[in-house]
Structure 1
Amino acid sequence: MDLAKVVVVVYDFDQVFQSKMYWDKDLLYKTIGDHPYKNFDMNFQYRMVASDEQVAWMDDLTAQKPMKPFPDNSDFEFKVYDTAGGMFEDIKKRNKEVGMSRMVATSGFPRIDGRHNVEMDTFSLPWDEWDPQRTHWAKREGSITQVGTIYTLQGFDLNYVGMVIGPSFGYDKETDTMTIIPEKYSHKEIFKKRKDIKFTQDEYKEFIANVLNVLMKRGKYGLYLTAYDDALRKRLLELAERK
């Protein structure tokens, strides 16, 4: 603050996915102190060709609101798959047609025979390889046979995204909502303690929800979707058939 005439701070509470990233509003205003400031709300996204209603559907899903069919009111392509293997075949086709189409997933997949892959039905691929010294992960030719994460794709655009909702998400039939199960989320950075803030279970759930929300919105032209949890996947398929 003391080194510049004008400081621009951009902070998106909905893109926080680790405890160390978190600032609450009190801390933000305490840091600003007595300096004069102006607030600007950035509430419009230019990345996706999706309609406002379609973006709101993604927000509502991760906010654990009652589930409903995906709106069909734009050129944005939305598909739900019974298998991750079938979805991967379509992502590979899209990648050949327009490029920049990748599989992504949230954390929580168990190790099988020593492999820490994303494994579901016929689908089995390793996680991404992050290396800041190399070409960006999504631009590497070999990344089509890897699964992207929040760490390699936050702030990066794809054309089509194949989203595997991992084991840390389930379904509650009584409320007709997607649920978040923190104990099944395997990336522990999210849960690291801080001396200045004590996080609640609901706040940890928000971090996990933010990961899914950000990843679903990586695709400019389309979102292909499936879920590891059988009940959640079944409900998504039912709603897709009702469009």
Structure 2
Amino acid sequence: HSDLIRSAAQKLGIPIKEYELDAQFRAGGSDEYISWVDNTIAIRRTEHVIWDPAETFDVDVVDSPEELRALIQHKASEGHTARLVAGFCWPWSDPLPDGTLVDDVRIGSFAMPWNAKHDRRTAHGIPKADLWATDPDGIHQIGCVYTAQGFEFDYVGVIFGRDLVYRFGEGWVGDPSRSHDTVVKRAAKQGIHEFTRLVKQTYRVLMTRGLKGAYFYFEDDQTRDFIMSRIEKGSIEEVGSALR
């Protein structure tokens, strides 16, 4: 692509300037947060082991998916862009005959649909897949990694399923039986380590969609405890008071 741009500019006599970008702009430019994510889910070792809530980027763990949804909706009501996303741990159904979506993502009494599939007819008020990130009604669906990647929001709420859990003494462990991602599950044929590596990359994408903050709900208690051990006590009480 760079060669095509240079060639076209040369033909038109337009001078160009080239710059090298070290990384994409993620998490509001918070290198510390991205470094913390990478270290926490064992993508790479970094110096950011414990998240400091004094940072301008907001990070918190909530106790239920209902609380996560309420928090994201609260941020949206304040005029921010905000979306829920989740690991691919639930089936992704086609729309019903009337174009409404199936509440595939179920955790106890919590139930929400994924975003619409590509090239599927949807009912009025349900954005098509390529508009989920920008249409205000997208807040009523949960984005999967294939829809969320490439987009950023002011705030993101991430539901961690059981396809990737943390076990003290073992580290991060992937579980293909909990995954509904056929692309990633095929990698499990190469061994559990390859599956785990790909699922960690999936959650890295989801965790880094926020520009101002990221909030997490964990289905697995041990995983939640581990993440909590990597966050200094800070703004969780403030989040709770904001929702009251």
TM-score normalized with structure 1 length:
0.70
Output one character per residue of 1:22-45: Cα deviation in whole Å (capped at 9) or x when no partner: xxxxxxxxxxxxxxxxxx985333
Unpaired stretches in structure 2, ≥5 consecutive residues: 6-18, 93-101, 121-127, 235-244
Deviation of 1:191 after TM superposition, in Å, equals 3.3
**Which of 15, 34, 42 pairs up with 1:63?**
42
1 CA distance for matches of 2:44 and 2:172? 8
| Residue number in structure 2 paired with 1:48 | 27
Give structure 1 stretches of 5+ with no counterpart: 9-39
The alignment partner of 1:139 has SS state of coil
Please report the RMSD computed on the Cα atoms of aligned residues, expressed in angstroms: 3.2
Q: 1:125 & 1:109 partners in 2: Cα distance?
A: 11
* Offset at residue 231 of structure 1 (A): 1.5
Displacement of 1:214 in angstroms is 0.5
Aligned to 1:205: 196
Sort the Cα spacing of 1:6 and 1:48 in 2 relative to 1 into closer, same or farther, 3 A. same
3-state SS in 2 of match to 1:208: helix
- Aligned positions of 1:39-188 closer than 5 A: 43-49=22-28, 51-63=30-42, 68-109=49-90, 117-131=104-118, 134=128, 136-175=131-170, 177-188=171-182
CA distance in 1, matches of 2:118, 2:90: 22
Q: TM-score, normalization: structure 2?
A: 0.70
Return the letter of the residue paired with 1:202: H
Q: Cα deviations across residues 137-177 of structure 1 (Å, max 9, x unaligned)?
A: 122232212110111111111110000111101121225x3
In 2, Cα distance between the equivalents of 1:227 and 1:53? 22
Return the alpha-carbon distance in structure 2 between the equivalents of residues 5 and 129 of structure 1: 34
Q: Relative CO higher for 1 or 2, CA cutoff 8 Å, sep ≥ 6?
A: 1
- 1:229 corresponds to: 220
How many pairs are equivalent?
201
